[in-house]
Amino acid sequence: MSVLNGKKVLLAVTAGIAAYKTASLVRLFIKLDAEVKVIMTPASKDFITPLTLSTLSKNPVHSAFYEEEENELWNNHVELGLWADLMIIAPATANTLAKMTNGVCDNLVLATYLSAKCPVYFAPAMDLDMYQHPSTKNSLNRLQEFGNVMIPATSGELASGLVGEGRMAEPEDIVSFIEKDILHKLPLKNKRILITAGPTHEAIDPVRFIGNHSSGKMGFELAKAAANLGGEVVLISGPSNQFVNHLSIKRVDIISAEEMFKECHKYYENSDIAILSAAVADYRPKKIASEKIKKKDSALTIELEPTKDILKSLGELKKNQILVGFALETNNEIENAKSKIESKNLDLIVLNSLRDSGAGFATDTNKVSILDSNLNCKEFDLKEKSKVASDIFNEIILKLYA
């Protein structure tokens, strides 16, 4: 899965002959499951139609601050700038580059650029002499000094018939450039992350087991978040219906606590971060019946024994890893979480309570508190588990680069 998956991409098209390539560019972003919106300068519509880009992006295309045919509907440049995860100006003509450099704001594209809070990429496109002109070179340098990212023009045959530098990068190369740039800047690049998820099932007989209601949703969201931050993830999951498809996530399926113990120890030594969010059974049957136990009128007694404490065992082996545990409590939540931090040698513990509505097993939301090894506590509101995963990694990254 591409790092552009799920990203909100705002494509700004200006009036250069290379505008025809933006149809392919939009298609490539859509194929990578990015959400795309397109804005245009008025003059760019002479080179490619808004209808084409609207059809491909599956979103309306705007080129003015309001649309007369739509009862003067206001196209809010500030909202567009805040919506985007990244903005790309392609083609970026000499005229637009000069206006960007000097803060000129006379169309929707420029107003949105000045309002953008996200990374801005620009792909210059113009004729050879224009590209080599000192004023253009000044614009290119100044825009990069402002923090914008230039996708270099290439050499080739230009619209004028001349051959030289100034040709806009091909759509495939633009997408590849952005992917590599994002990956290079991700905070977990080259970091190996071990994550556990879901329940364990402890067999009673060939048919029955001891388990719990964990769906694995929180652990899978953590794995996705880690991969999207550039990490290489090993996800060890108990029985779960959750699904993940990402090139940076290796899924290891297990059933029992003993299997999870072995797999965690297999990968832990080479991990930089370990997050144990699985709901591992605390007890298992001491003896597993080889045949299905028949129902009788009398009571059935099953002797249980403790499972191995995976989190504590990793804490005892910890060297330079950041070790994160989870605590699901029903009473004395903070006190119990603090006790686990100390007894299991944790860097962070994520606490949630079954007493909080919308938190706990098999929900799409969670409400957590995060405690660190100094027993400082941060409380978070009820959120979707994907956003909870982001909060958790924000705290981990602060630890990682402290």
Annotation marks residue 376 as catalytic: no
* Contact predicate 166/125, CB 8 Å: yes
* The one catalytic residue among 212, 336, 345, 394: 212
Tokens 């686990």, located at residue: 340
* Contact predicate 322/347, CB 8 Å: yes
* Contact predicate 346/313, CB 8 Å: no
Tokens 């196209």, located at residue: 75
**Residues with catalytic annotation?**
212
